[in-house]
Structure 1
Amino acid sequence: MDRYPPIADHGLIGDLQTAALVSSHGVIDWFATPRFDSPSVFAALLDHDGGGYFLLAPEHPEGTWKQLYYPDTAVLVTRFMSPDGVGEIVDYMPVQPGTTAADRHQLVRVARTVRGTVRFELVCRPRFDYARAGHRLDLTPERATFHAPGATAHLQSSVPLEQDGQDVRGAVTLNAGEVAVAVFTVGPPGGQAPPSPTTEGIAEDAWSNIDFWQLWVRTSRYRGRWTDMVYRSAITLKLLTYAPSGAPVAAATMGLPEQVGGERNWDYRYTWVRDGSLSIRALLDLGFVEEATRFIHWLGDRLHAHEGPDGEPLQIMYRVDGDPHLTEEILEHFEGYRGSYPVRAGNAASDQLQLDIYGEALYGLAEGRVVGEQAGYHGWKGLAATLDWLADSWDRPDEGIWETRGGRKDFTYSRVMCWTAFDRGLKLAAEFSRPADTVRWTRARDEILEQVMQHGWNEKEQALVQYYGGDVLDASLLLAPRVGFISPRSPGWLSTLDAMDRVLVSDSLVYRYDPQASPDGLRGTEGTFSLCTFLYVDALARAGRLSEARYAFEKMQTYANHVGLFAEEIGPSGEQLGNFPQAFTHLSLIMAATTLNDALDRLWQRV
């Protein structure tokens, strides 16, 4: 196996409570359980020698590898083709869509030969608690059991297993039509193994999993262009949502670098108010109302808790169950992906002040019918109290959307999203006749608009800029026309878009800002930000530049990996960088696709 396969060389499987990455060579090299934000069991992607992995692949892998999803599902198929035969590994996690947190989670792996003869190899090397906890192996003819201080794992397999230290390995030769099964189950300490799997039982379970995903996708109302990419992004957002609470995480992984060998290695397995709100808005735009409803209740619980630092109604991120404590630590024993050190667990940015989150929250939830029917009176009171607080607090420097560690500034985007919060709050109050201090909210909204246009505008650049008095361009402002802060075809916005074209855009890829021009408190550089590229497509479409928008969107699809997934960034040579897959990227793909598709439809209707 490769010491460190490319970040994009993976598919994602999950059970709506946690997830795993499977490389295109049949290696599970990332898996945390029982939740997304739990310690890892397999983490070879962060430390090849010590992180642990689960391999199921042809013993002699010299051949051609292909990977795909079973259509409109999260069931992953890895295919191997050689002169001796064609083999497949089918990977999935049984879906647990309920609202109760499960105490055990399964990785199901099925090896089969579809033509000729293939000899498969199995190696299972779990490393519990980020490889900080040892384990003891019990091996019987039926199963391997790994006992660790905080968990017990069972591997049940029709592949004959043999002991390899405290790990196991095995091999089996399969002729055409023959199947071998391996099920890895992790649960609490001392937990009993599930019943021994049978080929028939696994087949039935796999089809049930396929039915779950395909039936869910069919509830989408999207019927436009790029259906495959939109549905894949929707499935990815669903996979990244913790079903018991309804909270989406920003990514399935931690520690994957924005620059290989650099220090920009963060833990993204938490729920950002910003990312979660926009994720739910993207799913809502596709017709997935249940997901929006769950997140409304989750967000309402956070507002009632008043857990933000310094008296804020919200902090910027939480654990998936709403716990606000995300203490950051460095896993010093991990070398990091290709030497990208340090590897961080937890996220110290949770204590930052980022005022834009209130705008994204109101924008994400401002589908009137959903808020009106689901938030209820007490939910509305929580939103109104938040806007009352914001009316006193919006005119403050903050750390901004990009979580820079270079000090607080008057970030233009933060003020734009505060405007959005008041704008949507006023519209909701009017639509549903809810009690609100509309005079105060209106005054705050109007003051923000005046202030941004006076202090966030740079005359030399002829553009809105990153922070007041500066000259740095910032791609986060590409959301300004989408939320209605500025007309998408006004002269001021078109000149801002032109300035971004000159400075931030590289072959349709978009940098979020220039870290050399705007020091962010960190060493090194980064790639283009995939979220910003899709926001750029959205802004081009709204500006009427449809040919450019469509070409940029189509080119961006060529940067997707082999199964349609995106990480956070694109590096200079086209490689994917950062945590993977990234919810922000996939939600912005959906936003861009719906905007561009609608604009093209209107164009064709006029022809």
Structure 2
Amino acid sequence: MTETAIAEHGLIGDLQTAALVTTDGSVDWFCCPRFDSPSVFGALLDDERGGRFRIRPAGPHTSVQMYYPDTAVLITRFSGADGIGEVVDFMPPCGEAVTGTHRIARLVRCVRGRMAFEVLVAPRFDYGRRPHEVVLTGPGAVFVADERCLALHVVREPDDAHLAETRVEGGDVHTRLVLEAGQVRGVVLESDPARSPHEIRVGEFTELFESTVDWWRTWLARSTYRGRWREMVARSAITLKLLTYAPTGGLVAAPTLGLPEELGGERNWDYRYTWVRDASFSVSALLAVGFTEEAAAFGAWLGERIREGDGGPSGPLAVLYRVDGTTDLREEPLGHWSGYRGSSPVRIGNDAAGQLQLDIYGEALDSVCTADRAGFGLPHRGWTAVRAVLDWLGEHWDQPEEGIWETRGGRRCFTYGRLMSWVAFDRGIRLARAHGRPAPVEDWTWQRDSIYDQILNRGWHRTRQAFVQHYTGDDLDAALLRMPRTGFLPPRDPLWISTLDAIGTDLVTDTLVHRYDPVSSPDGLAGSEGTFSLCSFAYVDALARAGRLEQARAAFEKMLTYANHVGLYAEEIAPTGEQLGNFPQAFTHLALIDAAVTLDAALG
């Protein structure tokens, strides 16, 4: 067997962790008890050693997959020679209290005719590094690996004959469900269970399904978006909610690790963490569509990180954090895993946590300012932390750094990093003046203006007639598509329009946008990569702000066709149109919301 294509998955979750389900009914990625915990099912990255939890028809079949409308409940429908059946997958949402108990609920239904389903539960604890024992009980099974435990509960009725003999082979549990039209059964896999495996009645299981559907629909009803692309914006909002760690409000960049930016290449990273940049962008995106509680939670998470002020070599902020706010992210390879379609090494942890990326300070201060305008307020402790950040930035912004794309080819004076440093001082000045807060406004103004002059003198390339990636070259960078959003230049300023045209010529293929050219601008890694979907949506946003509405709308509509069958995006798009990189990526869905809101406003 080979790993299922990245796009052939749907996402379910409970707001503390998440699982990917293939179009053939297999849970082939699940980390527990948190997003950034070791995997229990990892067939996505190694079909033989990763482990899976699969329910599918016993004979030849075809399948389709969809979300139950306006929810994170996933339906995989199978058609076989004797009937039609479906598996309904969901994870009941957890509260904000940290818990090790998480449930993957799998409702199995025969819709027409007769269908036999095969059930395989094959966990591989700790990325497949830790052996386990399995014990069958009357109504289920228990899997134990040191301190980790999973219980398999069976959904059935008294004296039910629809469960065939269950057997254990090599630590895996196999069973079979034979259902007639209208019959419903299922299983629930629970981590760190409060009780031993037990029978769950169909009525109780149906109530759990209905309560999960109601929870998601009640949550989504808070959306204020009434624009042209409601379905895709709603799916993006639900996806962002699924990628949120409720106990802290942190947003993970993606629930996966190791999915390649180039098949067979080395650009395989662990994204199960919260980046300051992503969390900052989420504040404005979610406020724009009415999710104020989520924006406030992300803002609170960010505020805690700013107040802690212990980012090590990257300054008062680290580039990324674990979902609990800690920074132990040492990178190491999983040498025993083959990687997605042979893409290795498979890395856990992320050494980018120790890089210097100056842009995060502008993004953080911009989100603080956005939240303040929305009425969240900025307490004294928060203002003191903001002053400390700007004091540090005043001494450090004029130096080489690794940049937004976390390159590993050495530090450079990236224009985008300078641009966002300008934003940081600009937003600090605005906050001080708006609230009469004590601050060295004259010094901040001098710093802001110095950065502005430097970008115009050194970031603008007269030959290219464009703002370039860094001061010592003439390469372009799609990160600068965010320039008009910051207010650094008006969106129709001739300097910006010339830059937009240059990016369109060098980095855009139809509607798909490369971040930069890794050949002419080496990033310290071998190979190349696909187009970056975040940048493709940022291109739509920039076109709309420049008044190029017909081009912007066409680009946006085309980008929507690159979503997978349930509206999800990975990080990148390959030249073949295949999705690449970690999946689904929060950054892409944030950018989709931003582009939709901007384009709606421009179209009127």
TM range (shorter): over 0.9
Residues 136 and 370 of structure 1: CA distance in aligned 2, closer, same or farther (over 3 Å): farther
What is the distance in 1 between the residues matched to 2:562 and 2:31? Answer: 27
Q: CA deviation at 1:448?
A: 0.7
Query: Superposition pairs for residues 19-98 of structure 1, below 5 Å?
Result: 19-63=18-62, 65-96=63-94, 98=95
1:137 equivalent in alignment to 2:134: yes
Supply the AA of the counterpart residue of 1:236: T
1:553 equivalent in alignment to 2:556: yes
1:504 corresponding residue in structure 2: 507
Residues 368 and 271 of structure 1: CA distance in aligned 2, closer, same or farther (over 3 Å): closer
1:185 equivalent in alignment to 2:190: yes
What is the distance in 1 between the residues matched to 2:291 and 2:481? Answer: 25
SS at match of 1:168: strand
What is the distance in 2 between the residues matched to 1:373 and 1:393? Answer: 29
1:146 equivalent in alignment to 2:151: no
What is the distance in 2 between the residues matched to 1:311 and 1:239? Answer: 29
Query: Superposition pairs for residues 310-459 of structure 1, below 5 Å?
Result: 310=313, 312-369=315-372, 373-459=376-462
* 1:277 maps to which of 268, 274, 280: 280
Residues 441 and 134 of structure 1: CA distance in aligned 2, closer, same or farther (over 3 Å): same
The 8 Å contact of residues 56 and 117 in structure 2, kept in 1 or not, is answered as yes
The 8 Å contact of residues 108 and 184 in structure 2, kept in 1 or not, is answered as yes
1:581-603: CA deviations, max 9, x gaps? 000000000000000010001xx
1:263 corresponding residue in structure 2: 266
What is the distance in 1 between the residues matched to 2:207 and 2:373? Answer: 36
1:70-113: CA deviations, max 9, x gaps? 111100001112342111100000101x2211121110001101
1:17 equivalent in alignment to 2:21: no
Residues 344 and 451 of structure 1: CA distance in aligned 2, closer, same or farther (over 3 Å): same
TM-score (ref. length: structure 2): 0.97
Query: Superposition pairs for residues 487-566 of structure 1, below 5 Å?
Result: 487-566=490-569
2:160 corresponding residue in structure 1: none
Residues 66 and 311 of structure 1: CA distance in aligned 2, closer, same or farther (over 3 Å): closer
SS at match of 1:66: strand
Greater shift, 573-582 or 379-388, is seen at: 379-388
Greater shift, 134-143 or 381-390, is seen at: 381-390
What is the distance in 1 between the residues matched to 2:138 and 2:61? Answer: 31
Q: CA deviation at 1:216?
A: 1.0
Which segments of 5 or more consecutive residues in structure 1 lack a partner in the other structure? Answer: 602-607
Q: CA deviation at 1:195?
A: 5.0
The 8 Å contact of residues 40 and 124 in structure 2, kept in 1 or not, is answered as yes
What is the distance in 2 between the residues matched to 1:541 and 1:280? Answer: 21
What is the distance in 2 between the residues matched to 1:372 and 1:435? Answer: 20
1:357-382: CA deviations, max 9, x gaps? 01111222322546763431111211
Supply the AA of the counterpart residue of 1:162: R
Q: CA deviation at 1:62?
A: 2.5
Q: CA deviation at 1:468?
A: 0.5
1:99-133: CA deviations, max 9, x gaps? 21112111000110111111111011000000000
Supply the AA of the counterpart residue of 1:334: W
Supply the AA of the counterpart residue of 2:167: E
What is the distance in 1 between the residues matched to 2:179 and 2:2? Answer: 27
Supply the AA of the counterpart residue of 1:437: P
Residues 311 and 574 of structure 1: CA distance in aligned 2, closer, same or farther (over 3 Å): closer
Greater shift, 303-312 or 470-479, is seen at: 303-312
1:123 equivalent in alignment to 2:123: no
Greater shift, 81-90 or 513-522, is seen at: 81-90
What is the distance in 2 between the residues matched to 1:532 and 1:310? Answer: 28
* Root mean square deviation, CA, Å: 1.3
What is the distance in 2 between the residues matched to 1:11 and 1:368? Answer: 32
Query: Superposition pairs for residues 174-213 of structure 1, below 5 Å?
Result: 174-187=179-192, 192-193=195-196, 196-213=199-216
Supply the AA of the counterpart residue of 2:206: A
What is the distance in 2 between the residues matched to 1:330 and 1:566? Answer: 26
The 8 Å contact of residues 296 and 376 in structure 2, kept in 1 or not, is answered as no
What is the distance in 1 between the residues matched to 2:336 and 2:81? Answer: 42
The 8 Å contact of residues 282 and 298 in structure 2, kept in 1 or not, is answered as no
Q: CA deviation at 1:27?
A: 0.4
1:162 equivalent in alignment to 2:167: yes
Residues 109 and 311 of structure 1: CA distance in aligned 2, closer, same or farther (over 3 Å): closer
What is the distance in 2 between the residues matched to 1:401 and 1:333? Answer: 31
1:519-569: CA deviations, max 9, x gaps? 000011100000000000000000000000000000001100000000000
SS at match of 2:344: coil
Greater shift, 207-216 or 339-348, is seen at: 207-216
The 8 Å contact of residues 279 and 302 in structure 2, kept in 1 or not, is answered as no
Residues 301 and 368 of structure 1: CA distance in aligned 2, closer, same or farther (over 3 Å): closer
TM-score (ref. length: structure 1): 0.96
1:298-341: CA deviations, max 9, x gaps? 22221222221237110100000000110111001000001101
What is the distance in 1 between the residues matched to 2:487 and 2:192? Answer: 48
Aligned residues: 596
2:578 corresponding residue in structure 1: 575
Residues 223 and 311 of structure 1: CA distance in aligned 2, closer, same or farther (over 3 Å): closer
Greater shift, 563-572 or 442-451, is seen at: 442-451
The 8 Å contact of residues 368 and 431 in structure 1, kept in 2 or not, is answered as no
What is the distance in 2 between the residues matched to 1:540 and 1:194? Answer: 56
What is the distance in 1 between the residues matched to 2:511 and 2:541? Answer: 12
2:106 corresponding residue in structure 1: 109
The 8 Å contact of residues 334 and 346 in structure 2, kept in 1 or not, is answered as yes
1:604 corresponding residue in structure 2: none
Supply the AA of the counterpart residue of 1:16: L
SS at match of 2:199: coil
What is the distance in 2 between the residues matched to 1:311 and 1:36? Answer: 24
Indicate the percent of aligned positions where both proteins have the same amino acid: 56
What is the distance in 2 between the residues matched to 1:169 and 1:600? Answer: 55
1:261-293: CA deviations, max 9, x gaps? 100000000000001111232111111111121
1:171 equivalent in alignment to 2:176: yes
What is the distance in 2 between the residues matched to 1:48 and 1:279? Answer: 34
SS at match of 1:57: strand
The 8 Å contact of residues 108 and 185 in structure 2, kept in 1 or not, is answered as yes
Residues 197 and 370 of structure 1: CA distance in aligned 2, closer, same or farther (over 3 Å): farther
The 8 Å contact of residues 296 and 375 in structure 1, kept in 2 or not, is answered as no
